[in-house]
Amino acid sequence: MRTRLLGWLDRLHSSYWFLPSLMALGALLLSVATLILDQSLGSARLPLLSALGGMNRPDGARALLSTVAGSLITVAGVVFSMTLVGLSLASQQFGPRLVGNFMRDRGNQLVLGTFVGTFLYCLMVLRTVRSADVPAGVAAFVPHISVAVALAMTLVSLFVLIYFIHHTAESIQVSYVLARVGRALTQQLLALPEAAGRGEGAEPGKAPPPELPEGFSEDAVTVRAQRAGYVQAIDVSSLVVLAREHGAVIRLHHPPGSFLMLDGPLADIHPEAAGETLAGRIEGSYVLGAVRTPQQDPYFLFDQLLEVAVRALSPGINDPFTAISCIDRMAESLNLLARRRLPSTFLTDDAGALRLIVPRPEIGDLVEHLFGELRAHGAGDPMVARHLALTLRRMQASTSDTALKVAADREVRRLLESAVALLSTSDHQALKAASRRVTAWIRLED
């Protein structure tokens, strides 16, 4: 239940309507509150406010409110148009997967909410302003507090507009985009749960896994998926409790971020009797969606960096400097991931009995996926190939994780092999020399 709630909150956070709608509702409530104050206090107790800018006259207050409301709804339309242009540029230059990052931008949401909220506030206050009608016995009414608040909100909206122009110009710069993805990836990696501890000198994730029940592979029941979509989150804690209650061991097939096919294998359950009972309840612990999200899938952000780098190396764009920036961000995050003491994929209950097996990509597979794709697209570019080799060697030198060291060394050797047919002899020799210099420094440090 908690996982589904977090998934729902994540979708609200990435939506473009939720925060502006809350701000618009807040503006409506604020208008009600200020109008109640105006009606209870009256203009006699507010001499200073009633003397400001002709607000003591209905015509002046009405002109001010109508001008502000009409101007701000126009500005809101311009803001929306500029936002769409930014999303279009992001989709074409950086890839459609990064559009979600722009939609999550709280700055854009606050700007849109400020303009819409101020417009609605002025509209609600405007309808209460009335002129005197002596024959009908109607007295003039000018809500001085409400008009003063409208003027203050207009000034705030002006500064928000200046911020939005600066923020939009900044947010479409590739360095800003990559830095933002890098920060989000760092936050996701730091939020990953860590193992309780390990012995001195041991490596993360190297604790011996619990043993599977005897005959697990032969007797386990395979549960098939009744839905299709990307696995956005898995309620792991409820699965452990469920397995403990039925004395079962569950082995999942799909980690967050993978695509679940209809009628594809979802999980293996042992013993067979428990499988018949738990089949429907296991699928209920999965949160599926039409797209991948970083909620429980930090590797999705790695793929965003990879997508920007591959696009930058395409013949139509040919921007090696962007690819180099992506390589630096990937290496930094891989080093951080290697330093995290990730818990075992074998989860136990309070009594120490094995209950759940959750698949998770190894760091060596992640290195091969990221730098293997970059090698295929960048081995023929001398600048990118040299930076790729140097980054892998430096990453190899700065980590104590054996798996990362082996994977980085393997990718450098593959890069040198691929570059033979793509680079000139002199460029290939320079690439080998740069790699050897860092390798010699690594050996000296060792």
- DSSP class of residue 104? T
| pLDDT score at 259 | 92
Q: Determine the Cα angle at 132 with ends 49 and 63, to 5°.
A: 55
| pLDDT score at 407 | 92
Contact 269, 35 (CB under 8 A): no
Predicted TM-score (pTM) of this structure: 0.79
If phi > 0 it is left, if psi is from -120 to 50 it is alpha, else beta; for residue 205 that is: left
Residue from 224, 244, 217, 252 nearest 346 by CA: 252
If phi > 0 it is left, if psi is from -120 to 50 it is alpha, else beta; for residue 213 that is: beta
Residue from 422, 417, 302, 373 nearest 435 by CA: 417
- The domain segmentation of the chain, as residue ranges, is 2-172, 220-289, 299-347+360-445
Ordered DSSP codes for 366-408: HHHHHHHHHHHHHTT-HHHHHHHHHHHHHHHHH---HHHHHHH
Q: Determine the Cα angle at 285 with ends 283 and 288, to 5°.
A: 75
Contact 61, 55 (CB under 8 A): yes
Separation between Cα atoms, residue 323 and residue 75, nearest integer Å: 37
The residues with which 357 forms a beta bridge, in sequence order, are 251, 346
Separation between Cα atoms, residue 199 and residue 206, nearest integer Å: 10
Residue from 256, 239, 257 nearest 248 by CA: 239
| pLDDT score at 17 | 83
Residue from 446, 243, 195 nearest 344 by CA: 195
| pLDDT score at 46 | 57
**Going residue by residue through the chain (446 aa), what tens digit of pLDDT does each one get?**
565 666 666 667 667 788 899 999 999 999 999 999 888 876 555 555 555 545 567 888 888 899 999 998 888 888 888 777 777 777 777 777 777 777 778 888 899 899 999 999 999 999 888 876 656 556 678 888 888 899 999 999 999 999 988 888 887 788 888 888 889 899 888 888 766 544 333 344 455 566 777 778 777 888 888 889 999 888 888 888 888 888 888 999 988 889 999 988 989 888 877 877 787 788 888 888 888 888 888 889 999 999 999 999 988 888 899 999 999 999 999 999 998 877 778 888 888 888 898 888 889 999 999 999 999 888 888 999 999 999 998 888 888 888 999 999 999 999 999 888 888 888 888 888 877 766 655 544 44
Q: Could you give the 3-state DSSP secondary structure of residue 180? A: helix
The half-sphere exposure of 409 on its side-chain side, counting CA atoms within 13 A, is 13
| pLDDT score at 195 | 60
Say if domain 220-289 classifies as CATH 3.30.70.20.
Answer: no
